[in-house]
Structure formats: structure tokens, C-alpha cells
Structure 1
Amino acid sequence: MGSVAGLRARFRGPLLPGMRQLPLPTLQPWDGGRIFSHNPIVGRFSGLSTRWTFAANGPLGYLASRRPVFSAAIRDASIIFGMDVKRS
């Protein structure tokens, strides 16, 4: 099987100054119940210049002739696990 998708990306300038948080809520099964937790991603938000390619006959072929509207990256990122956990 060949390539399904490809990406070329180049970082642009910062979108926001300094370090910022992005919420990453997570719901997962645990011991017959569920755990919902808030795990923030902390990092620097940057713009990206991107070029995507998709195999026309692949599972993402419907995207072959399309271009992204917006691309961004989180650089120097960390995820903080277990800050706010609720079990049900």
C-alpha cells in the first residue's frame, strides 16, 4: 500500500504571545465506570504554512483537490494530566 497523505509545513510567527493553555478533556472507561478529566496542553501557539497531498484513490481521496483554510502548531508543549478528575 502506498502513501495515503503527505504534509509539508513551515512555522510562521507566533499567533499569541507567551505560553497559553488549550483544554484537552478526556473521557475513558475505568473499572466498570468512567473517568472524565481536564488535561490542559500548555505551549506556544504558532501559525503554519502547509501543503497537504492526498492519494486520490485512498481513504482521504475526497480531500485531494482541497486546501486547508488555517493551520497552527503548539510548540514547546506539555500536557498536564490529572488536574481535575471526576469518576462515575
Structure 2
Amino acid sequence: MLIGGNRAGVFVCGDDSDARAVVATLVGDIDAEPVDAGPLALARYAEPAAMLLVQLAYAHGFGTRIGLSLLHEKAASVPHDTRA
């Protein structure tokens, strides 16, 4: 989903890494940027971001063409800590 020429980020959580890869491909198919957010236990942190978007879109009049973008520097190898 392009917004102003930018791809909206979509957090993808799940305990099955193969399933996350499939969902990430589907997210890419809609021109959004998949963000692998790790195991399902971390989905609870992504949900408030979605609730904020809904409030901004409808209660604050931003409209439905709204999304998030995650900015980060890509390192050669970043360890993924799943202890959360």
C-alpha cells in the first residue's frame, strides 16, 4: 500500500518462521513493507500501534490513507533476542 509514494510498514508476528515468511510475501504483494517482528508473544506490542492508527484515521480526521513506516539502519548481522 503506497501512501505518498512510500510503502506502509506491516508488522508480522508468529511462532512459525516459515509462516511469517509466507505472510511477509503477501504483505509485499500489496506494496506494503513487511516488518518481521518475531514471535507471536510480541504481537501484543504491535496491536497498540494499529489502535493508534485507527484513532488518528477516524477520530482525528487523518482519513484512511494512513500507515506506519519503520526506519532503521540495516546491519550485516543483528542478533534476534526472543526472550521478551
- TM bucket (normalised to shorter chain) is under 0.3
Which protein is richer in helix relative to its size?
A: 2
Larger radius of gyration: 1
Which protein is richer in strand relative to its size?
A: 1
Higher relative contact order (CA 8 A, sep 6+): 1
Structure-1-length-normalised TM-score: 0.21
Structure-2-length-normalised TM-score: 0.22
